[in-house]
Amino acid sequence: MALFIAISGIFVLELLMLSLKAVEINDVKELDNLEINSKVVVEGKVVNERILYLGSKLIVLDNGVEIICEDSESFKGKRIRVEGLIDEFNNKKQIGALRIEISN
């Protein structure tokens, strides 16, 4: 019974996370005004990309926003649209990518 309640609770939380509307941001200043774990969408051209550790990399957009993702594809020089959650590392806000799309 407890297992069923726990799984149901996780399912409800997942539905709530998916239904949250993402806030569109344009630069780092807007990112700094939002709270940790807020869902955001940002678009920009990738100016820098580097591997952090096995399977994870840091992407920097032309508007200064930093994105952490686990993707093997190279996005350098491409315009991308990212949906993700705000995270903080060393007192600096970044976006943990949930979805990345290449824009035209």
pLDDT value at residue 11: 82
Calpha distance 86→71 (Å, rounded)? 18
What share of the chain in percent tops pLDDT 90?
33
Residue 94 has pLDDT above 90, yes or no: yes
Amino acid at position 60, single letter: V
Residue with tokens 């970044």: 94
pLDDT band of 17, cuts 50, 70, 90: low
